[in-house]
Amino acid sequence: MTDFPKRLEEINQYAESDPKGLIETSEKRYGAIIDSVVEKVNENNLNTVIMLAGPSSAGKTTTARILRDKLTESGVSAYEISLDDFYLGADMAPVGPDGEKDFETVEALDLPFLKETIKKLLSGEGCDIPIFDFKTSKRSDRWNHIELKEGDVVIFEGLHALNPVITDDFENENLIKLYISLLTRIYDKDDNIIISRRDARLIRRIVRDYNHRGSSVEKTFELWQKVKSGENKYLFPYEDEAYLKIDSFHPYEECMIRDCAIEILSRLSPESEYYEKGMGLIENLKKFSSIPLCMLPGDSILNEFMK
């Protein structure tokens, strides 16, 4: 396999004839992208902050962890921090034009504290990092202490990691900006879009939310409307600020997630306002040949959504 397949017919051909090869090619491609980031970091002897931004279900959390582990393997001490831990909390969240709390805006973060934390980390000072409790929707009493030694790296991941409100205060030589998302659409041989980039992320989120967060498919569809609005306003305008864009597309993904996703989507009531959309996703997922979930590599970012 000289290149990874992007069309339905090619994907199905490999899924049926050589699923192991399809999986290995997908994972090697993604690993090579992460390795290129590690090489970039290793060229810099200064304390480095990596800002990793991306939309919902792009794979930010797992990619930050993989990047941390690969940096550690290369001899660099690395830490990961979620921007979500800098949320102000429900009581202090700004109110949007509709009169409701806006948790998607960058102003929902404790920006002065966040920027002061980054400044201290870059200068080698020790910092206490907050831990946000999403059950109570406020900062918990627990903190993590981080202190960067020379050449150490800290990875901040979150929706707003590329927002100039956060990054413009810091020198570019100390900052590596990354953007991760599903950047590849799946077409058929007639150039019809079978799975769009946003639909691929939606399918990931439906499966993850149902299996790990106890969320119904109806609830995920409902939240998705606000998620899309937040991405359009607060993320996509800044994606070109990134030094590197990471495509989290894995050609075998739809073949492996299809059965679980179809089962969950089938739970939508015919009376649901999302029923037609859900049935359309089912129709397109059925076009993919199935690959058993047991073949999913233990170190794949797709574990974040499928297991």
* % pLDDT > 70, the chain: 97
Residue that has been written with the tokens 């199935």 in this structure:
290
Q: Which domains does the chain have, with CATH numbers?
A: 8-306 (3.40.50.300)
Cα angle for residues 108, 214, 156 (degrees, 5° grid) = 35
More confident residue, 1 or 183: 183
- Which of 15-24, 129-138, 234-243 has the lowest average pLDDT? 129-138
- pLDDT, residue 2, reads 47
pLDDT, average across residues 4-18:
94
pLDDT exceeds cutoff 90 at 125:
no
Q: How many CB atoms lie within 10 A of CB 287?
A: 16
Task: Kindly give the residue spans of alpha helices, DSSP state H, lying in 125-238.
Answer: 164-167, 197-212, 217-234
Q: Could you tell me the pTM of the whole model? A: 0.89
Cα 65 from Cα 68, distance rounded (Å):
5
Q: Which of 6-15, 46-55, 137-146, 212-221 has the highest mean pLDDT?
A: 6-15
What are the Cα distances from residue 123, in Å, to 83, 128, 145, 173, 190? 20, 14, 15, 13, 55
